[in-house]
């Protein structure tokens, strides 16, 4: 297993997880902590941040130019990888994981490390749910879908209402920021924001703390170097859930 800061990998296999999400299996493994990310260079297109969903995979949702270009790649094609970078989720004995959509990607390795007691998994429909079988093997999984096609009919945050949140050591969260902000509001009401960790998705250029494009207001913390995983109490009075910046640095409402 290697841990070089920069290298080329070949794609061994591509797995279609849902209509919009694919897992790319590399011919190289990386030493990493669940929650850490790599910068993926798609030759001739762009370099983008992606969480490692295992030691040799990333799980990608089609969003724009770079991710669409990745969807045109297959076995034998090559990508540049820098990293792993950033911190990871804090491990604990009784962790509650909450994932929305492709947010399950950095939480799957946490569950595989036997760290997750309960996993709340949400998506718009049953067909968009990620990693259901793999998660079933390592945690107690509760499901919510927006259209009610599987599990609770509603948002994944509604599943929190039936749990004794105080019984968990840590709560690890990744998903759309609106959903993560809803989680933060709930845990703040219970006075346990400090036990909660959120993995932020922000536009990144350098990935190593130099360019400043991923700073969050008002602290100036850099998502690439100080995160991407942040404690809930650090995010309470921040831009989190309100706005983020695009490639030109302009604010974009969430």
Ligand X SMILES: Cc1cc2nc3c(=O)[nH]c(=O)nc-3n(C[C@H](O)[C@H](O)[C@H](O)COP(=O)(O)OP(=O)(O)OC[C@H]3O[C@@H](n4cnc5c(N)ncnc54)[C@H](O)[C@@H]3O)c2cc1C
Q: Mark residues 188-207: x for contact with ligand FES by CB under 6 A, - for none.
A: ----------------xxxx
Residues 214-253 that bind ligand X (CB under 6 A): 223, 228, 246
Q: Interface residues for ligand X in 103-132 (CB under 6 A)?
A: 105
38 or 168: CB nearest ligand X: 38
Question: Which residues pair with residue 99 across a beta bridge?
Answer: 121, 174
Q: Which is nearer to ligand X, 94 or 242 (CB)?
A: 242
Using the minimum distance from each CB to ligand FES, give the nearer residue, 191 or 250.
250
Residue 234 CA to residue 197 CA, distance in Å, equals 10
Residue 177 Cβ vs ligand FES, minimum distance, rounded to whole Å: 17
Does 212 help bind ligand FES (rule: CB under 6 A)? Answer: yes
Distance CA 159, CA 143 (A): 8
Q: What is the 3-state secondary structure (H, E, C) of 86-151?
A: CCCCCCCCCEEEEEEHHHHCCCHHHHHCCCEEEEEEEECCHHHCCCHHHHHCCCEEEEEECCCCCC
What does residue 64 show for φ and ψ, rounded to 5 degrees?
-150, -145
- Number of chain residues interacting with ligand FES (CB under 6 A): 12
The residue among 35 and 151 lying less far from ligand X, judged by its C-beta, is 35
Q: In whole angstroms, how close is the CB of 52 to ligand X at the nearest point?
A: 8
Please tell me whether residue 160 binds ligand FES under the rule CB under 6 A: no
Residue whose C-beta lies closest to ligand X:
64
First to last CA, the chain: 39
Q: Is 211 in the site for ligand FES (CB under 6 A)?
A: yes
SS3 210: coil
Q: Does 229 bind ligand FES (CB under 6 A)?
A: no
Nearer Cβ to ligand FES, position 179 or 235?
Answer: 235
**Residue 59 interacts with ligand X (CB under 6 A): yes or no:** yes
Closest CA to 27 of 71, 81, 70: 81
163, two tokens? 């749990």
Query: Distance (Å, rounded) from C-alpha 190 to C-alpha 217?
Result: 25
Q: Which range touches ligand X (CB under 6 A), out of 22-30, 42-50, 91-99, 147-155?
A: 42-50
- How many residues in total does the chain contain? 254
Binding site for ligand X (CB under 6 A): 37, 46, 48-51, 58-61, 63-67, 102, 105, 201-204, 223, 228, 246
């Amino acid at each position: 297993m290697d841990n070089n800061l920069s290298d080329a990998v070949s794609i061994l296999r591509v797995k279609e997880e849902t209509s919009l999400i694919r897992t790319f299996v590399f011919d190289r493994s990386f030493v990493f902590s669940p929650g850490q990310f790599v910068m993926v260079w798609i030759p001739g297109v762009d370099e983008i941040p992606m969480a490692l969903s295992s030691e040799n995979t990333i799980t990608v949702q089609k969003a724009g130019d770079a991710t669409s270009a990745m969807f045109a790649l297959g076995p034998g094609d090559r990508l540049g990888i820098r990293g792993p970078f950033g911190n990871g989720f804090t491990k604990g004995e009784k962790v509650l994981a909450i994932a929305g959509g492709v947010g399950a990607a950095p939480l799957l390795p946490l569950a595989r490390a036997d760290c997750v007691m309960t996993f709340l998994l949400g998506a718009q429909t049953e067909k968009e749910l990620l990693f259901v079988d793999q998660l079933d093997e390592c945690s107690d999984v509760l499901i919510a879908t927006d259209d009610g096609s599987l599990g609770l009919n509603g948002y994944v945050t509604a599943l929190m209402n039936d749990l004794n949140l105080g019984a968990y050591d840590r709560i690890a969260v990744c998903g759309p920021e609106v959903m993560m902000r809803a989680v933060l509001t709930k845990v703040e009401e219970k006075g346990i924001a400090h036990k909660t960790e959120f993995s932020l998705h922000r536009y990144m250029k350098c990935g190593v703390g130099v360019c400043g494009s991923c700073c969050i207001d008002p602290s100036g913390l850099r998502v690439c170097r100080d995160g991407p995983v942040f404690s809930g109490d650090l995010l309470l009075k921040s831009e989190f859930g309100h706005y983020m910046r695009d490639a030109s640095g302009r604010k974009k409402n969430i």
